[in-house]
Amino acid sequence: MTNDSKQTRPEDRPSGRRYGLFGVSAYPQKSSLDEKQRSSMSRALSIVIVLIAAAVILLMLFSQSSPGLTVTFDTMGGSEVSSQSIPYGGTIEPPGETVRPGYVLEGWSIAPEGEALWDFEHDTVTDTLTLYAVWSPQ
Amino acid sequence: MKNPISRKVEYYKTLDAKDKRSFWIDGLLNNAIYIILVIFLIYTATQNSRLLSWAALANLINLVAANLPMALGIGGCIILTGTDLSAGRIVGLSAGLSAALLQGASAANKYFEGLGEPGLAMVVLVLLVAMVVGGIVGLANGFFVARFQLHPFIVTLATQLIVYGGCLIFYNSNGNNGQPISGLSQVFRSFVTGSILPPIFGQTIPNYVLYAIVVFILMWFIWNKTTFGKNMFAVGSNPEAANVSGVNVFMTTTLVHTLAGITYGYAGFIEAARISSNVSNTGQNYESDAIAACVIGGVSFVGGTGTVGGVLLGVVLLRVIYVCLTYLAVDQNMQYIIKGAIILLACSIDMRKYLARK
């Protein structure tokens, strides 16, 4: 057997196949389709390919259920800070400026009592959460 | 010696305007999946930059290694102009068996209570048992297809149901009552998911990636360097001509399906340790991903064509698309629709290429 046996040309195949993928000849026999039928089928396929490709891309773009996990910032009396949407496993961007007269911002913590401060560089988000501002008097 | 690109450029220059247009149209349509892939990657990277991390790449490599052996097995069946719908259930049965035989000595709900803690020899033995079990089902598939000229679709549909029933009975026997089989032994887990290699770029490479490379090389050798491989392609292209040329069509068909079954058995063994908790439903629909990967990778449904590199490419492409969908947090139900659409797309492209061949 030479290497050619790996890829016989379709027109060399016999006109009757025993079975195709679903027990019937999965592909129309080349000899049974004339040039006109072949080109119209090819054109229909081209349209189908474009339609399916477009559908897949649109589905991807518009079917995200949860673009990220919501992180809200409770400023505990300071000025408002907008919440963020962080993808799973991501880190939180240090939030915008917040001011509270007479107090200095120590940092943000996952608990209102303010024990451990959130490490914005290393801590990752795995669920929706609220960060509470930790203030210390001036 | 001109390189292929300059040759193609020269050819392009000789075309007239109409042919130039169809050159571009053909190029776009035939490579639609690659184009979609690039769009997916770019969009996902902008939405979730964690996609571009070493961890994501390592995760992708692991997924490819887990899915490649099965795709290679099913690829052989597709080259024969057939298919194999029983693949997923064979993986499930093999996984359940491997897990049950390799649970730790102190596992809760131990399936075979008499077994102690398995050593490395037992692990290797169970791997062989898994491959033999898969091979037996594959042999049955191949025998019915080859001996009685039955359609592979219907034969493997039947064995799919039989294997699933056997799997359910297995999970309900010996006092297990349908519970998941977990608590796998440390030796088993480190054999599959442990790592001989040191971490690369901070990522550990599990052993099953190395095993998948071995399987890939083996399959490449079988498909390209053995008489059996050449016969497989011959029978897939033209069974009558192959028969006339002296190829034993019966043996070739049977062996292709048996080999596929062996790869499913191996895949089940790996899967058992990889997912670490196995249920009777493990393996359901795995074959759809494997078949899709093969079609995307150029293993045409007309039969007789395909390369191991193509199968690998198909597995990688499909996995990248799935990973993108995960990182985009696309609704799980929508992912089914997208997967189905991609299979349709791959088949349409395949058909269009077939019609266009001069």
Residue type, A69: L
* Higher-confidence position of B221 and B9: B221
| Cβ <8 Å between B304 and A60 | no
Say what percent of chain B tops pLDDT 90: 54
Q: Is the pLDDT of residue B162 over 80?
A: yes
Nearest to B354 among A27, A52, A90 (CB): A27
Contact criterion met (CB < 8 Å) for B345 and A23 = no
Give B187-205 pLDDT, tens digit per residue: 899 999 988 888 888 888 9
* Residue A114 confidence class, pLDDT cut points 50, 70, 90: low
Query: CB within 8 A of A33, min separation 6: which ones?
Result: A41, B355
CB contacts of B83 in chain A (<8 Å) are 21
pLDDT, position A2: 46
Query: Do A84 and A130 belong together in one domain?
Result: yes
In a domain, A5, yes or no: no
In this complex, do B40 and A48 lie within 8 Å of one another by their Cβ atoms?
A: no
Confidence of residue A20 (pLDDT cuts 50, 70, 90): very low
What's the average model confidence in pLDDT over B329-349? 86
Asked, for residue B230, whether it belongs to a domain, the answer is: yes
Do A52 and A86 share a domain, yes or no?
no
Residues 6+ apart with CB under 8 A from A36: none
Give the pair of three-digit tokens for residue B337.
């629709």
Q: List chain A residues with CB under 8 Å of B220.
A: none
- Return the residue of A nearest to B321 by Cα: A60
| A107 domain residue, yes or no | yes
Q: Residue A127 falls within a domain, yes or no?
A: yes
A78/A35 same-domain check: no
Predicted confidence (pLDDT) at residue B109 exceeds the cutoff of 80: no
Cβ contacts of A14 on chain B, cutoff 8 Å: 238, 240-241
Kindly state whether residues A102 and A124 are assigned to the same domain. yes
Please judge whether B329 and A87 are an interchain contact, meaning their C-beta atoms are less than 8 angstroms apart: yes
Examine the domain organization and report whether A83 and A111 are in the same domain: yes
Report which DSSP code applies to A108: E
| Displacement of CA B9 from its chain's centroid (Å) | 36
**How many distinct structural domains can be found in chain A?**
2
Per the domain annotation, does A4 fall within a domain?
Answer: no
User: Of A44, A62, A80, at which residue does a domain stop?
Assistant: A62
A63 and B330: CB-CB below 8 Å?
A: yes
Q: Does A62 touch chain B (CB under 8 A)?
A: no
Cβ–Cβ of A90/B48 closer than 8 Å? yes
Which tokens go with B338? 């997208």
| Cβ proximity of A114 and A80 under 8 Å | no
Kindly identify which residue of chain B lies nearest to residue A28, measuring between CA atoms: B355
Residue type at B50 in one-letter notation? R
Residues A98 and A43 in one domain: no
Given an 8 Å threshold on Cβ–Cβ distance, is B355 in contact with A42?
A: yes
Domain containing residue A101: 69-137
The whole-number pLDDT of residue B52 equals 84
d(CA B147, CA B259): 17
CB distance A22–B153 less than 8 Å?
yes
Q: Collect all residues with Cβ–Cβ distance below 8 Å to B277 and sequence separation of at least 6.
A: B180, B181, B182
The helix/strand/coil state of A25 is coil
Dihedral sign for Cα B174, B175, B179, B184, please.
Answer: negative
Band (A126; pLDDT cuts 50, 70, 90): low
Domain end (from A46, A62, A78):
A62
Q: Give yes or no for residue B115 having a pLDDT over 70.
A: yes
Q: Is the pLDDT of residue A113 over 90?
A: no
Residues of B with CB below 8 A from A33's CB?
355
pLDDT score for B355: 83
Same domain for A87 and A53: no
Q: Are residues A133 and A74 in the same domain?
A: yes
B239 contacts on A by Cβ (under 8 Å): 18
Residues A115 and A131 in one domain: yes
Check whether B266 has a pLDDT greater than 70: yes
Residues A73 and A128 in one domain: yes
- Shortest distance between the Cα of B41 and any Cα of chain A, in A, equals 11
Task: State mean pLDDT over B129-144.
Answer: 96
At B80-93, the pLDDT tens digits run 999 999 999 999 99
> Is A68–B234 a contact, with Cβ atoms under 8 angstroms apart?
no
Split at pLDDT 50, 70, 90, the class of A82 is confident
Confidence tier at A92 by pLDDT (50, 70, 90): confident
Is the pLDDT reported for residue A14 higher than 60? no
Note down the domain range covering B180: 68-284
Q: Which CATH number is A107's domain given?
A: 2.60.40.4270
In a domain? residue B294: no
Question: Could you tell me the two tokens for B26?
Answer: 């053909």
Q: CA-to-CA distance for B28 and A53, rounded, in angstroms?
A: 11
Short-list B62, B67, B13, CA closest to B205: B62
Look over chain B and give the mean of its residue pLDDT values, rounded to a whole number.
90
- Residue B326 located in a structural domain: no
Output DSSP code: residue B199: P
Residue A22 confidence class, pLDDT cut points 50, 70, 90: very low
* Inter-chain contacts counted by CB atoms under 8 A, chains A and B: 141
Task: Give A-chain residues touching B43 at CB under 8 angstroms.
Answer: 60-61
Give residue-wise pLDDT tens across range A31-68.
566 788 888 888 899 899 999 999 998 888 887 765 66
A48 with A18, same domain? yes
Among the partner-chain residues B247, B304, B325, the one whose CB lies closest to the CB of A7 is B304
Q: Is residue B43 part of a domain?
A: no
B287-308 pLDDT, tens digit per residue, is 999 999 999 998 988 888 999 9
Neighbour-count burial of A57, counting CB atoms closer than 10 A to its CB (0-12 exposed, 13-18 middle, 19+ buried):
middle
pLDDT reading at A87 higher than 80: no
Asked if residue A44 is part of any domain, the answer here is: yes
Q: At B314, list the tokens.
A: 């198909």
Cβ pair B47:A67 closer than 8 A = yes
* Cβ contact A102:A138 at 8 Å: yes
The answer as to whether B110 is a domain residue is: yes
Number of domains in chain B: 1
- Please give the structure tokens belonging to residue B151: 């359609």
Contacts of B230 in chain A (CB under 8 A): 1, 5-6
Cα–Cα dist B69/B261, whole Å = 11
Cα gap A23→B95, rounded to integer Å: 31
- Are the beta carbons of A70 and B334 closer than 8 angstroms? no
Nearest residue in chain A measured CA to CA from B353: A42
Residues of B in contact with A5 (CB under 8 A): 230, 233-234, 237, 242
Q: With a cut of 80, say whether residue A88 has pLDDT above it.
A: no
The answer to whether B185 and B102 have CB atoms below 8 angstroms apart is yes
Q: What is the pLDDT of residue B350?
A: 87
C-alpha span between B176 and B279 (Å, rounded): 11
Q: What is the DSSP letter of A32?
A: G
